Chains A and B, each alone.
Chain A
Amino acid sequence: MRYSGFRVIAEALTGHKGWKPVWRDPAPQAEYDYIIVGGGGHGLATAYYLAKEFGQKRIAVIEKGYLGGGNVGRNTTIIRSNYLLDGNEPFYEFSLKLWEGLEQDFNYNAMVSQRGILNLIHSDAQRDAFTRRGNAMILNGADADLLDREQIRAMYPWLNFDDARFPIKGGLAQRRGGTVRHDAVAWGYARGADSRGVDLIQNCEVTGMRIENGKILGVETSRGFIGAKKVGVAVAGSSSRVMAHAGMRLPIESHVLQAFVSEGLKPLIDGVITFGAGHFYVSQSDKGGLVFGGDIDGYNTYAQRGNLPVIEDVAEGGMALMPAIGRARLLRTWGGVMDMSMDGSPFIDKTPVDGLYFNGGWCYGGFKATPASGWCFAHLMAKDAPHKVATAYRLDRFLKGKMIDEKGQGAQPNLH
Protein backbone atom coordinates (compact mmCIF):
# COMPACT_ATOMS: atom_id res chain seq x y z
CA MET A 1 0.00 0.00 0.00
CA ARG A 2 1.42 3.33 -1.08
CA TYR A 3 0.99 6.25 1.31
CA SER A 4 -0.10 9.62 -0.04
CA GLY A 5 -2.26 12.59 0.83
CA PHE A 6 -5.06 11.21 -1.36
CA ARG A 7 -4.88 7.92 0.51
CA VAL A 8 -5.33 9.70 3.85
CA ILE A 9 -8.37 11.59 2.53
CA ALA A 10 -9.85 8.44 0.98
CA GLU A 11 -9.40 6.53 4.23
CA ALA A 12 -10.85 9.39 6.26
CA LEU A 13 -14.00 9.28 4.13
CA THR A 14 -14.36 5.50 4.45
CA GLY A 15 -13.87 5.13 8.19
CA HIS A 16 -10.15 4.18 8.07
CA LYS A 17 -11.06 0.58 7.29
CA GLY A 18 -8.48 0.13 4.53
CA TRP A 19 -5.27 0.42 6.57
CA LYS A 20 -3.33 -2.83 6.75
CA PRO A 21 -0.50 -3.97 9.04
CA VAL A 22 2.66 -2.34 7.79
CA TRP A 23 4.78 -5.50 7.77
CA ARG A 24 4.29 -9.26 8.00
CA ASP A 25 5.32 -11.40 10.96
CA PRO A 26 6.88 -14.40 9.17
CA ALA A 27 8.31 -17.56 10.73
CA PRO A 28 11.99 -18.06 9.93
CA GLN A 29 12.77 -20.15 6.86
CA ALA A 30 15.44 -22.85 6.99
CA GLU A 31 17.93 -20.87 4.94
CA TYR A 32 18.53 -17.42 3.47
CA ASP A 33 21.12 -15.83 1.21
CA TYR A 34 21.54 -12.97 3.70
CA ILE A 35 20.86 -12.74 7.41
CA ILE A 36 21.15 -9.35 9.08
CA VAL A 37 21.43 -9.66 12.86
CA GLY A 38 19.83 -6.64 14.52
CA GLY A 39 16.49 -5.05 13.64
CA GLY A 40 17.44 -1.48 14.47
CA GLY A 41 18.00 1.43 12.14
CA HIS A 42 21.24 0.15 10.64
CA GLY A 43 20.12 -3.47 10.23
CA LEU A 44 16.78 -2.54 8.65
CA ALA A 45 18.46 -0.01 6.35
CA THR A 46 20.96 -2.68 5.29
CA ALA A 47 18.17 -5.12 4.41
CA TYR A 48 16.24 -2.39 2.59
CA TYR A 49 19.18 -1.34 0.43
CA LEU A 50 20.27 -4.95 -0.19
CA ALA A 51 16.85 -5.61 -1.69
CA LYS A 52 16.25 -2.25 -3.38
CA GLU A 53 19.65 -1.01 -4.56
CA PHE A 54 21.62 -4.22 -4.91
CA GLY A 55 18.81 -6.47 -6.19
CA GLN A 56 19.42 -9.24 -3.67
CA LYS A 57 16.79 -11.78 -2.59
CA ARG A 58 16.16 -14.22 0.27
CA ILE A 59 17.03 -11.75 3.01
CA ALA A 60 16.08 -11.94 6.69
CA VAL A 61 16.52 -9.52 9.59
CA ILE A 62 16.74 -11.25 12.96
CA GLU A 63 15.90 -9.17 16.01
CA LYS A 64 16.13 -10.22 19.66
CA GLY A 65 13.35 -7.88 20.79
CA TYR A 66 11.08 -5.78 18.58
CA LEU A 67 11.93 -3.70 15.52
CA GLY A 68 13.44 -0.34 16.39
CA GLY A 69 13.44 -1.11 20.11
CA GLY A 70 17.08 -0.21 20.67
CA ASN A 71 19.22 2.82 20.06
CA VAL A 72 17.29 4.02 16.99
CA GLY A 73 14.53 4.92 19.42
CA ARG A 74 16.76 6.21 22.22
CA ASN A 75 18.92 8.87 20.56
CA THR A 76 18.40 12.64 20.33
CA THR A 77 17.48 12.48 16.60
CA ILE A 78 20.16 14.80 15.19
CA ILE A 79 21.49 14.53 11.64
CA ARG A 80 24.58 16.41 10.40
CA SER A 81 27.78 15.92 8.40
CA ASN A 82 30.22 18.24 10.16
CA TYR A 83 33.32 16.08 10.42
CA LEU A 84 36.95 16.93 9.71
CA LEU A 85 38.81 13.80 8.69
CA ASP A 86 38.95 12.25 5.23
CA GLY A 87 37.85 8.84 6.51
CA ASN A 88 34.65 10.34 7.95
CA GLU A 89 33.40 13.42 6.12
CA PRO A 90 32.56 11.89 2.70
CA PHE A 91 30.67 9.09 4.48
CA TYR A 92 28.58 11.42 6.64
CA GLU A 93 27.89 13.75 3.73
CA PHE A 94 26.69 10.73 1.72
CA SER A 95 24.42 9.97 4.66
CA LEU A 96 23.05 13.52 4.82
CA LYS A 97 22.26 13.42 1.09
CA LEU A 98 20.40 10.13 1.61
CA TRP A 99 18.45 11.73 4.48
CA GLU A 100 17.41 14.53 2.12
CA GLY A 101 15.72 12.09 -0.26
CA LEU A 102 14.77 9.40 2.24
CA GLU A 103 11.06 10.04 2.68
CA GLN A 104 10.38 10.04 -1.07
CA ASP A 105 12.61 6.99 -1.44
CA PHE A 106 10.85 4.78 1.09
CA ASN A 107 7.43 6.49 0.91
CA TYR A 108 7.17 7.13 4.63
CA ASN A 109 6.97 10.31 6.66
CA ALA A 110 10.11 10.38 8.80
CA MET A 111 9.70 14.11 9.55
CA VAL A 112 13.17 14.95 8.23
CA SER A 113 13.61 18.55 9.32
CA GLN A 114 16.69 20.45 8.11
CA ARG A 115 16.47 23.07 10.80
CA GLY A 116 20.23 23.61 11.04
CA ILE A 117 22.89 22.81 13.59
CA LEU A 118 25.17 25.34 15.28
CA ASN A 119 28.47 24.52 17.05
CA LEU A 120 29.45 27.34 19.39
CA ILE A 121 32.95 28.91 19.44
CA HIS A 122 34.49 30.39 22.58
CA SER A 123 38.12 31.20 21.71
CA ASP A 124 40.45 32.11 18.84
CA ALA A 125 41.96 28.63 18.86
CA GLN A 126 38.54 27.06 18.59
CA ARG A 127 37.61 29.40 15.75
CA ASP A 128 40.75 28.27 13.88
CA ALA A 129 39.84 24.62 14.42
CA PHE A 130 36.22 25.14 13.36
CA THR A 131 37.29 27.14 10.29
CA ARG A 132 39.45 24.24 9.26
CA ARG A 133 36.60 21.81 9.84
CA GLY A 134 34.19 24.00 7.90
CA ASN A 135 36.63 24.08 4.98
CA ALA A 136 36.98 20.29 5.10
CA MET A 137 33.19 20.02 4.98
CA ILE A 138 32.93 22.34 1.97
CA LEU A 139 35.71 20.45 0.16
CA ASN A 140 33.65 17.29 0.56
CA GLY A 141 30.50 18.85 -0.84
CA ALA A 142 28.81 19.68 2.46
CA ASP A 143 27.72 23.14 3.59
CA ALA A 144 29.30 25.17 6.38
CA ASP A 145 28.94 28.75 7.58
CA LEU A 146 31.22 30.50 10.01
CA LEU A 147 29.10 32.90 12.06
CA ASP A 148 30.15 35.80 14.25
CA ARG A 149 28.72 36.70 17.62
CA GLU A 150 26.14 39.15 16.28
CA GLN A 151 24.80 36.65 13.76
CA ILE A 152 24.28 34.18 16.58
CA ARG A 153 22.69 36.86 18.73
CA ALA A 154 20.16 37.44 15.95
CA MET A 155 19.31 33.72 15.97
CA TYR A 156 19.28 33.05 19.69
CA PRO A 157 19.24 36.32 21.68
CA TRP A 158 18.63 34.52 24.97
CA LEU A 159 21.94 32.59 25.00
CA ASN A 160 24.42 33.57 27.72
CA PHE A 161 26.96 35.39 25.52
CA ASP A 162 29.12 36.65 28.38
CA ASP A 163 29.75 33.55 30.46
CA ALA A 164 33.03 34.14 32.32
CA ARG A 165 34.59 30.84 31.30
CA PHE A 166 33.08 30.24 27.84
CA PRO A 167 31.86 33.53 26.32
CA ILE A 168 30.24 32.96 22.90
CA LYS A 169 32.56 34.32 20.18
CA GLY A 170 30.95 32.76 17.13
CA GLY A 171 29.82 29.48 15.71
CA LEU A 172 30.05 26.98 12.88
CA ALA A 173 26.66 26.36 11.34
CA GLN A 174 25.56 23.56 9.06
CA ARG A 175 22.15 24.63 7.81
CA ARG A 176 21.39 21.30 6.14
CA GLY A 177 21.72 19.51 9.47
CA GLY A 178 18.65 18.98 11.61
CA THR A 179 16.46 16.37 13.24
CA VAL A 180 14.43 13.34 12.16
CA ARG A 181 11.58 11.42 13.80
CA HIS A 182 13.81 8.52 14.83
CA ASP A 183 11.21 5.73 15.29
CA ALA A 184 9.78 6.50 11.86
CA VAL A 185 13.19 5.81 10.34
CA ALA A 186 13.10 2.25 11.65
CA TRP A 187 9.46 1.83 10.63
CA GLY A 188 10.01 3.28 7.17
CA TYR A 189 12.97 1.02 6.46
CA ALA A 190 11.14 -1.99 7.92
CA ARG A 191 8.10 -1.36 5.74
CA GLY A 192 10.27 -0.79 2.68
CA ALA A 193 12.24 -3.98 3.29
CA ASP A 194 9.16 -6.09 4.05
CA SER A 195 7.40 -4.93 0.89
CA ARG A 196 10.44 -6.12 -1.09
CA GLY A 197 10.21 -9.60 0.42
CA VAL A 198 12.60 -9.30 3.35
CA ASP A 199 11.56 -11.47 6.32
CA LEU A 200 11.61 -9.39 9.51
CA ILE A 201 11.85 -11.94 12.32
CA GLN A 202 11.30 -10.50 15.78
CA ASN A 203 11.70 -12.07 19.23
CA CYS A 204 14.51 -14.18 17.84
CA GLU A 205 17.81 -13.97 19.69
CA VAL A 206 21.07 -15.13 18.15
CA THR A 207 22.60 -17.59 20.61
CA GLY A 208 25.49 -18.87 18.53
CA MET A 209 27.11 -18.95 15.13
CA ARG A 210 27.77 -22.08 13.14
CA ILE A 211 31.23 -21.76 11.62
CA GLU A 212 33.06 -24.59 9.84
CA ASN A 213 36.47 -24.41 8.17
CA GLY A 214 36.51 -20.65 8.64
CA LYS A 215 33.18 -20.16 6.87
CA ILE A 216 29.82 -19.09 8.31
CA LEU A 217 26.98 -21.56 7.76
CA GLY A 218 24.26 -19.79 9.70
CA VAL A 219 23.18 -18.68 13.15
CA GLU A 220 21.78 -20.55 16.12
CA THR A 221 18.80 -18.67 17.49
CA SER A 222 16.16 -18.96 20.19
CA ARG A 223 13.89 -20.13 17.33
CA GLY A 224 16.28 -22.75 16.01
CA PHE A 225 19.11 -22.86 13.49
CA ILE A 226 18.81 -20.59 10.45
CA GLY A 227 21.22 -21.18 7.60
CA ALA A 228 22.74 -18.36 5.56
CA LYS A 229 25.35 -17.78 2.88
CA LYS A 230 26.23 -14.40 4.37
CA VAL A 231 25.61 -12.99 7.85
CA GLY A 232 25.89 -9.30 8.70
CA VAL A 233 25.90 -8.15 12.32
CA ALA A 234 24.56 -4.65 13.06
CA VAL A 235 23.89 -4.62 16.78
CA ALA A 236 25.84 -1.59 18.03
CA GLY A 237 25.76 -1.47 21.83
CA SER A 238 25.93 -5.27 22.02
CA SER A 239 28.56 -5.89 19.34
CA SER A 240 31.08 -7.51 21.70
CA ARG A 241 28.45 -9.96 22.98
CA VAL A 242 27.27 -11.06 19.55
CA MET A 243 30.70 -11.20 17.91
CA ALA A 244 31.96 -13.30 20.84
CA HIS A 245 29.85 -16.08 19.27
CA ALA A 246 32.36 -15.97 16.42
CA GLY A 247 35.29 -15.98 18.85
CA MET A 248 36.18 -12.35 18.15
CA ARG A 249 37.35 -9.67 20.58
CA LEU A 250 36.63 -6.15 19.35
CA PRO A 251 38.28 -2.74 19.82
CA ILE A 252 35.09 -1.64 21.57
CA GLU A 253 33.79 -0.88 25.07
CA SER A 254 30.07 -0.55 25.79
CA HIS A 255 29.14 2.73 27.50
CA VAL A 256 25.89 4.51 28.37
CA LEU A 257 24.89 7.92 27.04
CA GLN A 258 22.01 9.64 28.77
CA ALA A 259 19.40 11.86 27.13
CA PHE A 260 16.88 14.27 28.59
CA VAL A 261 13.54 15.87 27.76
CA SER A 262 11.98 18.82 29.51
CA GLU A 263 8.28 19.55 29.81
CA GLY A 264 6.66 20.98 26.69
CA LEU A 265 7.45 24.67 26.14
CA LYS A 266 6.46 27.27 23.56
CA PRO A 267 8.77 27.50 20.51
CA LEU A 268 12.20 28.65 21.65
CA ILE A 269 14.90 26.84 19.65
CA ASP A 270 14.32 26.32 15.94
CA GLY A 271 17.59 24.45 15.31
CA VAL A 272 20.18 22.39 17.16
CA ILE A 273 22.77 24.11 19.37
CA THR A 274 25.90 22.35 20.59
CA PHE A 275 28.00 23.69 23.45
CA GLY A 276 30.90 21.26 23.21
CA ALA A 277 33.07 23.11 25.71
CA GLY A 278 30.32 22.78 28.30
CA HIS A 279 29.33 19.18 27.42
CA PHE A 280 25.79 20.15 26.45
CA TYR A 281 23.66 20.18 23.30
CA VAL A 282 19.99 20.97 22.84
CA SER A 283 17.14 21.08 20.34
CA GLN A 284 13.39 21.40 20.70
CA SER A 285 11.00 18.68 19.62
CA ASP A 286 7.87 19.41 17.63
CA LYS A 287 5.89 18.69 20.81
CA GLY A 288 7.80 21.48 22.56
CA GLY A 289 10.08 19.53 24.87
CA LEU A 290 13.71 20.56 25.03
CA VAL A 291 15.72 17.50 23.98
CA PHE A 292 19.24 17.65 25.34
CA GLY A 293 22.27 15.66 26.40
CA GLY A 294 25.95 15.77 27.19
CA ASP A 295 28.76 13.32 27.80
CA ILE A 296 28.74 9.57 28.26
CA ASP A 297 28.91 8.33 31.86
CA GLY A 298 32.41 7.00 31.20
CA TYR A 299 32.48 3.44 32.58
CA ASN A 300 31.69 0.11 30.91
CA THR A 301 28.02 -0.70 31.18
CA TYR A 302 25.19 -2.54 29.46
CA ALA A 303 22.50 -0.99 31.70
CA GLN A 304 20.25 1.35 29.72
CA ARG A 305 20.40 3.93 32.48
CA GLY A 306 23.10 6.21 33.81
CA ASN A 307 23.98 7.78 37.13
CA LEU A 308 23.19 11.12 38.74
CA PRO A 309 26.61 12.85 38.47
CA VAL A 310 26.25 13.08 34.69
CA ILE A 311 22.73 14.45 35.00
CA GLU A 312 24.14 17.16 37.28
CA ASP A 313 26.96 17.86 34.81
CA VAL A 314 24.54 18.19 31.87
CA ALA A 315 22.25 20.45 33.90
CA GLU A 316 25.19 22.68 34.78
CA GLY A 317 26.16 22.92 31.11
CA GLY A 318 22.59 23.85 30.25
CA MET A 319 22.48 26.55 32.93
CA ALA A 320 25.79 28.01 31.73
CA LEU A 321 24.58 28.29 28.14
CA MET A 322 20.93 29.17 28.56
CA PRO A 323 20.03 30.24 32.10
CA ALA A 324 16.35 30.24 31.14
CA ILE A 325 16.46 26.43 31.17
CA GLY A 326 16.53 26.62 34.98
CA ARG A 327 12.80 27.40 34.94
CA ALA A 328 11.95 24.28 32.92
CA ARG A 329 11.23 20.99 34.63
CA LEU A 330 12.98 17.83 33.52
CA LEU A 331 10.37 15.37 32.36
CA ARG A 332 12.31 12.25 31.46
CA THR A 333 15.84 10.90 31.33
CA TRP A 334 16.99 7.65 29.81
CA GLY A 335 20.14 5.96 28.60
CA GLY A 336 21.28 4.06 25.56
CA VAL A 337 24.15 1.58 25.40
CA MET A 338 26.67 2.27 22.68
CA ASP A 339 29.76 0.76 21.15
CA MET A 340 32.59 3.15 22.06
CA SER A 341 35.47 2.32 19.74
CA MET A 342 39.14 3.01 20.37
CA ASP A 343 39.29 6.04 18.07
CA GLY A 344 35.69 7.21 18.19
CA SER A 345 34.96 6.01 14.64
CA PRO A 346 32.88 3.08 13.39
CA PHE A 347 33.52 -0.20 11.57
CA ILE A 348 31.95 -1.55 8.37
CA ASP A 349 34.13 -4.49 7.45
CA LYS A 350 34.57 -8.16 6.68
CA THR A 351 35.75 -10.39 9.49
CA PRO A 352 38.31 -13.23 9.47
CA VAL A 353 35.31 -15.59 9.13
CA ASP A 354 34.31 -16.07 5.49
CA GLY A 355 30.78 -14.73 4.93
CA LEU A 356 30.56 -12.92 8.28
CA TYR A 357 30.43 -9.12 8.16
CA PHE A 358 30.49 -6.57 10.95
CA ASN A 359 28.91 -3.13 11.33
CA GLY A 360 29.36 -1.37 14.68
CA GLY A 361 31.44 0.94 16.83
CA TRP A 362 29.14 3.89 16.15
CA CYS A 363 29.88 5.57 19.48
CA TYR A 364 27.22 8.26 20.01
CA GLY A 365 27.01 9.13 16.30
CA GLY A 366 25.10 6.20 14.90
CA PHE A 367 21.72 7.74 14.22
CA LYS A 368 22.81 10.31 11.64
CA ALA A 369 24.79 7.55 9.90
CA THR A 370 21.82 5.20 9.50
CA PRO A 371 21.16 5.57 5.73
CA ALA A 372 24.82 5.53 4.68
CA SER A 373 25.63 2.74 7.13
CA GLY A 374 22.88 0.58 5.66
CA TRP A 375 23.85 1.42 2.09
CA CYS A 376 27.58 0.81 2.61
CA PHE A 377 27.03 -2.39 4.61
CA ALA A 378 24.70 -3.69 1.88
CA HIS A 379 27.34 -2.76 -0.71
CA LEU A 380 30.03 -4.62 1.24
CA MET A 381 27.88 -7.73 1.69
CA ALA A 382 26.56 -7.83 -1.89
CA LYS A 383 29.82 -7.04 -3.70
CA ASP A 384 32.44 -8.13 -1.15
CA ALA A 385 34.11 -4.76 -1.59
CA PRO A 386 33.71 -1.62 0.49
CA HIS A 387 31.71 1.33 -0.77
CA LYS A 388 34.03 4.18 -1.78
CA VAL A 389 32.98 6.40 1.15
CA ALA A 390 33.47 3.62 3.72
CA THR A 391 36.92 2.30 2.87
CA ALA A 392 38.53 3.52 6.10
CA TYR A 393 36.20 1.74 8.54
CA ARG A 394 38.41 -1.33 8.83
CA LEU A 395 38.76 -3.55 11.88
CA ASP A 396 42.54 -3.74 11.45
CA ARG A 397 43.13 0.01 11.29
CA PHE A 398 44.75 0.12 14.73
CA LEU A 399 47.26 -2.54 13.78
CA LYS A 400 48.11 -0.56 10.65
CA GLY A 401 48.27 2.82 12.37
CA LYS A 402 45.33 4.21 10.39
CA MET A 403 43.10 5.41 13.20
CA ILE A 404 40.31 7.91 12.43
CA ASP A 405 40.58 9.89 15.65
CA GLU A 406 38.49 13.09 15.26
CA LYS A 407 39.20 14.14 18.83
CA GLY A 408 42.78 12.94 19.06
CA GLN A 409 42.24 11.10 22.35
CA GLY A 410 43.98 7.82 21.59
CA ALA A 411 42.87 4.38 22.71
CA GLN A 412 40.63 5.69 25.51
CA PRO A 413 37.00 5.02 24.54
CA ASN A 414 35.45 7.00 27.40
CA LEU A 415 37.18 10.21 26.25
CA HIS A 416 35.92 10.23 22.65
Chain B
Amino acid sequence: MIINHPILGPRDSQEFVYLGAAEMMNRPDGMSAGIEEFHEWLYHRDNPAGEHRELWYHEQGDRSWLVVTRNTLTHEISRVELARDVAKAMGRSK
Protein backbone atom coordinates (compact mmCIF):
# COMPACT_ATOMS: atom_id res chain seq x y z
CA MET B 1 0.00 0.00 0.00
CA ILE B 2 1.16 3.53 -0.77
CA ILE B 3 0.17 6.24 1.69
CA ASN B 4 0.06 9.71 0.16
CA HIS B 5 1.59 11.73 3.00
CA PRO B 6 0.21 15.31 3.06
CA ILE B 7 3.72 16.75 3.43
CA LEU B 8 6.10 14.13 2.03
CA GLY B 9 4.03 12.75 -0.82
CA PRO B 10 3.56 9.05 -1.66
CA ARG B 11 5.34 6.79 0.84
CA ASP B 12 5.45 2.98 1.17
CA SER B 13 3.25 1.76 4.04
CA GLN B 14 6.27 -0.21 5.35
CA GLU B 15 7.66 3.10 6.67
CA PHE B 16 4.64 3.40 8.98
CA VAL B 17 3.47 1.79 12.18
CA TYR B 18 -0.24 1.02 12.41
CA LEU B 19 -2.09 1.84 15.62
CA GLY B 20 -5.79 1.31 14.90
CA ALA B 21 -9.08 3.15 14.63
CA ALA B 22 -8.89 6.95 14.61
CA GLU B 23 -11.68 7.05 17.19
CA MET B 24 -8.91 6.38 19.71
CA MET B 25 -7.99 10.08 19.38
CA ASN B 26 -11.13 10.82 21.39
CA ARG B 27 -9.86 9.66 24.75
CA PRO B 28 -12.33 10.35 27.57
CA ASP B 29 -11.44 13.03 30.08
CA GLY B 30 -9.58 11.23 32.85
CA MET B 31 -10.94 13.62 35.49
CA SER B 32 -14.61 13.03 34.71
CA ALA B 33 -15.08 9.78 32.80
CA GLY B 34 -15.91 6.55 34.59
CA ILE B 35 -14.30 3.14 34.16
CA GLU B 36 -17.04 1.98 31.77
CA GLU B 37 -16.33 4.86 29.41
CA PHE B 38 -12.58 4.19 29.48
CA HIS B 39 -13.20 0.47 28.91
CA GLU B 40 -15.32 1.27 25.88
CA TRP B 41 -12.66 3.60 24.49
CA LEU B 42 -9.67 1.33 25.08
CA TYR B 43 -11.05 -2.10 24.19
CA HIS B 44 -14.08 -1.86 21.93
CA ARG B 45 -13.97 -1.15 18.18
CA ASP B 46 -16.48 -0.67 15.37
CA ASN B 47 -14.22 -2.78 13.10
CA PRO B 48 -16.20 -1.96 9.94
CA ALA B 49 -16.04 -3.75 6.59
CA GLY B 50 -15.63 -0.81 4.23
CA GLU B 51 -14.43 2.70 4.92
CA HIS B 52 -12.24 2.90 8.03
CA ARG B 53 -10.48 5.93 9.55
CA GLU B 54 -7.27 4.83 11.21
CA LEU B 55 -4.05 6.08 12.75
CA TRP B 56 -0.68 5.48 11.08
CA TYR B 57 2.62 6.73 12.56
CA HIS B 58 5.40 7.66 10.14
CA GLU B 59 8.15 6.12 12.25
CA GLN B 60 10.74 5.85 9.49
CA GLY B 61 9.91 9.28 8.15
CA ASP B 62 8.95 12.56 9.74
CA ARG B 63 7.34 10.90 12.78
CA SER B 64 4.00 12.51 12.15
CA TRP B 65 0.72 10.84 13.02
CA LEU B 66 -1.70 10.51 10.10
CA VAL B 67 -5.41 9.82 9.91
CA VAL B 68 -5.82 7.55 6.87
CA THR B 69 -9.25 6.77 5.42
CA ARG B 70 -8.94 3.32 3.87
CA ASN B 71 -11.38 0.69 2.62
CA THR B 72 -10.91 -2.54 4.58
CA LEU B 73 -12.43 -4.60 1.76
CA THR B 74 -10.23 -3.26 -1.06
CA HIS B 75 -7.26 -1.59 0.75
CA GLU B 76 -7.98 1.54 -1.31
CA ILE B 77 -6.90 4.72 0.45
CA SER B 78 -9.24 7.63 -0.22
CA ARG B 79 -7.95 10.30 2.14
CA VAL B 80 -4.84 11.09 4.22
CA GLU B 81 -4.76 13.87 6.81
CA LEU B 82 -2.31 14.97 9.46
CA ALA B 83 -3.71 13.83 12.80
CA ARG B 84 -2.89 17.23 14.25
CA ASP B 85 -5.13 18.91 11.66
CA VAL B 86 -7.94 16.48 12.53
CA ALA B 87 -7.48 17.22 16.22
CA LYS B 88 -7.45 20.96 15.62
CA ALA B 89 -10.65 20.70 13.57
CA MET B 90 -12.22 19.02 16.60
CA GLY B 91 -11.26 22.05 18.68
CA ARG B 92 -8.36 20.34 20.44
CA SER B 93 -5.67 22.98 19.68
CA LYS B 94 -4.05 24.44 22.75
Contact = CB atoms under 8 A, between A and B. Distances in A.
Contacts of B45: 240, 249-253
Contacts of B36: 399
Nearest to B38: A399
Contacts, number: 69
A309 B72 contact: no
Interface string B1-32: 10000000000111000111100000000000
Interface string B22-65: 00000000000001100110111111110010100000000000
B93 interface: no
B14 A299 contact: no
Interface string B54-89: 100000000000000010111100000000000000
B47 A240 contact: yes
A238 B42 CA distance: 21
B39 A398 contact: yes
B14 A249 contact: no
B21 A251 contact: no
Nearest to B35: A399
A339 to B, nearest CB: 9
Interface residues of B, number: 27
A392 interface: no
Contacts of A414: 18, 20
Contact of A307 (B1, B48, B52): B1
B14 A342 contact: no
Contacts of B70: 299
A299 B75 CA distance: 10
Contacts of B39: 398-399
What's the dominant secondary structure at chain B's contact region? mixed
Contacts of A240: 45-48
A319 interface: no
Interface of A is mostly: loop
Contacts of B14: 309
B43 A300 contact: no
Given A307-B1, A309-B13, A309-B14, A300 B47 contact: yes
A54 interface: no
B88 to A, nearest CB: 25
A303 interface: yes
A16 interface: no
A252 B47 contact: yes
A410 to B, nearest CB: 9
Interface string A202-243: 000000000000000000000000000000000000101100
A24 B21 CA distance: 43
Contact of A300 (B21, B35, B74): B21
Contacts of B1: 307
A250 B47 CA distance: 8
B54 A299 contact: yes
Contacts of A351: none
A6 to B, nearest CB: 49
14 contacts: A240-B45, A249-B44, A249-B46, A249-B47, A250-B45, A298-B18, A300-B52, A300-B54, A300-B72, A301-B75, A302-B73, A399-B35, A399-B43, A414-B18
A-B CB proximity, top 4 nearest: A240-B47, A249-B44, A251-B43, A398-B43
